[in-house]
Amino acid sequence: MKARIRFYLFLILSISIWSCSSSDSNDESSNDINQGELHDEAYYQNLIGIGLSKNPNWSKHWGTIIGPFEAGDFHLTFTDSIDPMEMPEVNPIGSGDPLSPYQFPHPEGKGTMDIYLYKVEAQETLDKPFLNPDSEVIWFREDGMKERLLFMGPSGMFEEGGWLNAQEFLVLGYFQEEEGFHPMIWIIDVDNHVFRQFRMDKFSESYLPQSYLDQKLKSVNLSPNGN
């Protein structure tokens, strides 16, 4: 029990290091969030189902490791508000950049979501992408501002993502606990600056951390001229 408590404290700190505001300013909004969790459980299960259906490669990848699973296997672990760490910065990934196909344009053209820019060191001098130990989810807005929404240390990884609608973005990945590697899902509400984390009880005792990204990014051309 003590180990489980320590894990959740560590997980909250790891995931929300960039997403937590002061407790005094968020007491009222946190109460609203908690009340909404129970009311919206079916809604979020439906979103997870949509997200999994839109990302069959990720589902197949983890299915070969832990066996078949579905949306109902993911359970809400916590909800938190986001301090987006807003700063001026336009999306540095242009249309000709090798990572451009792996970003996620907003469905209404309001910017671009990115989960690989910080993770993948894709330099022209490298034969293949170099993976940094930490992961970030970054929102490059259409007004030239950047919001850093989520951050995670080397105990986990944001592996895949996609827009569920114009307001909510889904992130797929994993987190390593003492017992093994658990698939995880995060749903980010970019309008209200709130994210919800969902955890699967199934786990694998072993997992090659870069295995999914190696498979996904194997077609990235890092040569200077794109040849």
pLDDT of residue 110: 96
In a domain, 172, yes or no: yes
In a domain, 181, yes or no: yes
Tell me the C-alpha distance between 149 and 197, whole Å.
Answer: 13
Tell me the C-alpha distance between 133 and 108, whole Å.
Answer: 32
pLDDT of residue 25: 39
In a domain, 141, yes or no: yes
Return the C-alpha torsion angle 127, 128, 129, 132, nearest 10: -80
Residue from 120, 116, 117, 115 nearest 132 by CA: 120
For residue 182, give the 3-state DSSP assignment: strand
The tens place of each residue's pLDDT in the chain, 227 residues long, gives: 544 544 444 444 445 444 443 334 344 444 444 444 444 789 999 999 999 999 999 999 999 999 999 999 999 999 999 987 899 999 999 988 888 999 999 999 999 999 998 888 765 555 656 788 899 999 999 999 999 999 999 999 999 999 999 999 999 999 999 999 999 999 999 999 999 999 999 999 999 998 998 888 776 643 334 44
128, 121 Cβ separation under 8 angstroms: no
pLDDT of residue 119: 87
Q: Give the strands of the sheet with 135-141, arranged side by side.
A: 87-88, 145-152, 135-141, 111-114, 104-105
CA distance from start to end of the chain: 55
In a domain, 74, yes or no: yes
pLDDT of residue 9: 42
Tell me the C-alpha distance between 216 and 131, whole Å.
Answer: 13
In a domain, 87, yes or no: yes
pLDDT of residue 10: 41
Unique residue bearing structure tokens 């969030």: 33
For residue 114, give the 3-state DSSP assignment: strand
pLDDT of residue 39: 44
In a domain, 226, yes or no: no
In a domain, 222, yes or no: no
Contacts of 101 (CB under 8 A, 6+ apart): none
Question: How is residue 204 annotated by DSSP?
Answer: B
Tell me the C-alpha distance between 106 and 157, whole Å.
Answer: 22
pLDDT of residue 206: 97
In a domain, 211, yes or no: yes
Q: Write down the pTM of the prediction.
A: 0.81
Q: What domain count does the chain have?
A: 1
pLDDT of residue 75: 96
Segments forming the whole domain that contains residue 171: 2-216
